[in-house]
Amino acid sequence: MRVIAPQADDVMVEIGPGLGALTTPLSQVLKQLHVIELDRDIVKTLHQKYRNLVVHEGDALKFDFGSLGPALRVAGNLPYNISTPLLFHLADHITCVRDIHVMLQREVVERMVATPATAAYGRLSVALQYRFEMDKVLDVGPEAFYPQPKVESAVVRMVPRMRREPAALDDVLFAHITTAAFSQRRKTLRNTLRNILEAADFEALAIDPGARAETLAVGDFVRMANWLSEKQRPKILDTD
């Protein structure tokens, strides 16, 4: 709660309220709290236990976060088995989000906030750091849960980067290049991007084709995407 610092008039949605460990303190501060819950039994309990909840029964992966309006605050303990696709789903609604505070497996959080040239740095790091400013704000041990999980957890704060410099001209192409570059971590860019960039392209971009994807900053991936966008290569997305 201290990390989230909710205010009474905030528009907030909690993903997966479960038994209400976070729901209860949030509902005591907020005039109204939206929650997304898939389990019908839990939905029934939520309706009975809280009066200021708007319960959205369904899958968070399919939920339209934009339907709740602008300046939306998101919180929750994300299901570890769908945490990555759920993060990308939230990123698709970035224009309506004010901030996100979520608990995830610590390993995932470390990948999210990782810096270049580290083992944890990868596609997830690049994709999310392009869209958000992120900080790991709290470590949570297994003893905080019952039953105790076999993994460590952490809370991450994500704040949308509305002004991205440089900005990708084509978000789909940016994602395609990032995915391809990290598809085989031990191989060089010359190999992973062989169907996308030619030797002359690497030279023009001043990027070493003998380097690995994990050595590049987020801005380097943006530059590659924009270089290709400006050269108008429409068939790139059809290659493997």
Q: What would the pLDDT profile of 51-93 be if each residue is shown by its tens digit?
A: 999 999 999 999 999 999 999 999 999 988 899 999 999 999 9
In sequence order, the 6+-apart residues with CB closer than 8 A to the CB of 208 are: 189, 202
Are 195 and 240 within 8 A, CB to CB?
A: yes
pLDDT at residue number 115: 97
3-state SS assignment for residue 238 = helix
Amino acid (one-letter) located at 57: E
Start-end ranges of CATH 1.10.8.100 in the chain?
171-238
Q: pLDDT-based confidence at 142, cuts 50/70/90?
A: confident
Cis amide prior to 79 (ω within 30 degrees): no
Q: What is the DSSP string of 1-38?
A: -TTT---TT--EEEE--TTSTTHHHHHHH-S-EEEEE-
pLDDT at residue number 239: 52
User: Alpha-carbon distance 188 to 212, whole Å?
Assistant: 5
3-state SS assignment for residue 155 = strand
Neighbouring C-beta atoms of residue 38, cutoff 10 Å: 15
Q: Give the global pTM.
A: 0.90
| pLDDT, tens digit (0-9, with 9 covering 90-100), for 38-50 | 999 999 999 999 9
pLDDT at residue number 19: 86
pLDDT at 237 over 80: no
Q: What is the CATH number of domain 171-238?
A: 1.10.8.100
pLDDT at residue number 27: 97
Q: What is the CATH number of domain 12-160?
A: 3.40.50.150
pLDDT mean over 199-224: 97
| pLDDT, tens digit (0-9, with 9 covering 90-100), for 8-37 | 999 999 999 998 999 999 999 999 999 999
Start-end ranges of CATH 3.40.50.150 in the chain?
12-160
Count of alpha carbons within 13 Å of 50, Cβ hemisphere only? 28
Please give the angle made by the CA atoms of 194, 196 and 201, to the nearest 5 degrees: 90
Q: pLDDT-based confidence at 99, cuts 50/70/90?
A: very high
pLDDT at 235 over 60: no
| pLDDT, tens digit (0-9, with 9 covering 90-100), for 148-199 | 778 899 999 999 997 777 899 999 999 999 999 999 989 999 999 999 999 9
pLDDT at residue number 236: 56
